[in-house]
A = this chain, B = another copy of it.
């Protein structure tokens, strides 16, 4: 295992570990529970699922792995705050999320270790020559900490609602 393989494994393990944490919480929640706010006045579970899908869709483009799966989610879950638009229902979002994660992971797993150190699609050749950390692996890394941030919020739905029931 060379250095590139090792570091790519480290970041991919974190990505998968955080996805697993999110999915464990998701699987424990009913569709109705996903309509609850993570804390009074804050985002609902359904919004967080869509928000993560929108961010992971952007990631596909940055990694040069193809088109977005749900381009309409950009407006719904990135530029519009929760409770300002009509969202897909929880049952549908849950199924879309499952399929989306599969697609993203298949594409990520097909990448060779060296490809991860190439520039992502939003940085110029010129800038990349001075800033070689702006590579594809850094995109996966920043999206992993973003996922962890919202997973910390999403799990709040599970215990609160268990206690209330």
By a beta-carbon cutoff of 8 Å, the part of chain A in contact with chain B is 1, 3-4, 6-7, 9-11, 13-14, 17-18, 38-42, 117, 132-133, 135, 137-138, 141-142, 144-146, 148-153, 156, 159-160, 163
Distance, CA A141 to CA B1, complexed state (A): 19
Instruction: Give every chain B residue within 8 A of A117 (Cβ-Cβ).
Output: 3, 6
Selected contact of A39 from candidates B10, B133, B137, B156, CB within 8 Å: B156
Query: What number of copies of this chain does the assembly contain?
Result: 2
Selected contact of A149 from candidates B3, B41, B151, B160, CB within 8 Å: B151
Chain B residue at minimum C-beta to C-beta distance from A40: B160
Selected contact of A156 from candidates B38, B133, B137, B151, CB within 8 Å: B38
Selected contact of A42 from candidates B41, B142, B159, CB within 8 Å: B159
Q: How far is the CB of A94 from chain B (nearest CB, A)?
A: 21
